[in-house]
Structure formats: C-alpha cells, structure tokens
Amino acid sequence: METTQQAEQQRSARARRRQLLEAADRVVLRDGPQASMNAIAAEAGITKPILYRHFGDKGGLYRALAKRHTDALLDALRTALDAPAERRRRVETTLDTYLAAIEARPQVYRFLMHPAEDAQLPEQGFDVGRHSAPLLRRLGEELAKVIEERVDLGPDSEQLSRVWGHGIVGMMHGAGDWWLGERPCSREQLVRSLADLLWGRLADVSDRAGGPGF
C-alpha cells in the first residue's frame, strides 16, 4: 500500500513539474531573456517560494527548461541524420533542423543563450553563460556519438568524432546566432553555405558497414 502511495505521489510530482515547465515556457515565449521567476510563478498561479521549492532557483529552472528543449532538439536531429537520403542531403537537413528550431522559437533560444540586459536585482547573479555551456557540450557529445556510429574515421575514430561533433555544434551555434540576429540571407542559403563548408574531408570518408551512414 505504501509503495502504491509513493508511486502515486511521484506521478503527481512529475505532472506538477511538467505543468510548471509549461507555464515557464509560456512566459519565456512572451518575455524571452527577461522572463523572471515572479512572472513564471504568476503564470503558474503559485507563489515564488513554491516555484523555488520545485526548482531551487532560476538556475534550476533554467536547467530543467534547457533539458526539455535540448531533448526535443536532439530527437529532431537524430531523425534528420537517420533519414533515407544521400549524405549531403542528410547533412543539409540536419543543419536546417537546428536553424528551423531556433527560428521557430527565438525567444526560447535567447532565454537559453543570452542574459537579460536589465535583469531585476534579485536575479542579477544568474550567469547564463555558465549554464548554457553545458547545453552546447551535451549537443556536441551527442553529435559525436552519432558521427562515430555512422562514419568510419579510422583508428582515431572516437577522438576525431568528438572534435567534429563539438566543431559542428560550435559552427551551427555561432552561425545560427549571427543569422538569427541579422538575417543577412535566407535559411536555405545559410544551410547550403554551411554544408559547403563541411563538404571537405567528410565527403571522402567511407560509411560504416551495416548502417545508413552519416
């Protein structure tokens, strides 16, 4: 009986946490980097101390939101990488998937990657860079795993895959951040240009046997 009750409490806690993250998402979509704990608590219909009870502080809430959006982005990137198409097309689709995601929800992207310039005093100590770096590292490591699984890079496969994974994520992040702010060209043009940049040694290596390749 106690085990059943504990399981029910855990399900209830997960559901409540999901509701709070959805409320936070709505505020972030509206306010971007200016989203505050006060506004999120108000959107959720609770007091700020209750929000702190669930997430600890803004850093805890940020990490929960970052995981939520990173998980969804990684799923989309894996789908693009595994699509039944030739390699160049899959590379372009993967780049486009990332750029489409930040274009569709620019306020969420800015909240995750850029600090608020006029943050309220209680939240001035929140360092977005300190929290966003692990997000980019996770994307780099995940992409490295995909590359190592799908492309034969020889005896230094693990190390080179990690170099490429983090390098490609850094390229996508840097180019995407610049593009989202200035819009100097269409998304399609940016995708083609980035794919051209990647289309050096990647075009010459062999796919591993038994898989779709990269």
Q: How confident is the model at residue 201, as a pLDDT?
A: 67
* 18, 42 Cβ separation under 8 angstroms: no
Task: Look at domain 63-207 and name its CATH class.
Answer: mainly alpha
The pLDDT-based confidence of 2 (bands split at 50, 70, 90) is: low
State residue 83's pLDDT score. 84
**Does position 33 have pLDDT exceeding 70, yes or no?**
yes
pLDDT tens for 86-113 read 888 989 999 999 999 999 999 999 888 8
| Strand pairing class (151-152; 206-207) | antiparallel
Residue range 36-52: mean pLDDT, rounded? 92
What is this structure's pTM? 0.80
Write down the domain spans for the chain: 63-207
Provide the residue type at 50 as one letter: I
Rounded to whole angstroms, how far apart are CA atoms 130 and 212? 36
For the chain, the 3-state helix, strand and coil shares in percent, each to the nearest 5, are 80, 0, 20
| 25-34, 119-128, 151-160, 205-214: range with lowest mean pLDDT | 119-128
| Cβ 175 vs Cβ 182: under 8 Å | no
Taking only the tens place, the pLDDT of each residue in 69-84 is 888 988 998 888 888 8
DSSP assignment of 44-113? HTS-HHHHHHHHSSHHHHHHHHHHHHHHHHHHHHHHHHTSSS-HHHHHHHHHHHHHHHHHH-HHHHHHHH
* Per-residue pLDDT tens digits for 179-204: 999 999 999 999 999 999 988 866 77
What is the C-alpha separation between 86 and 213, in angstroms, rounded? 9
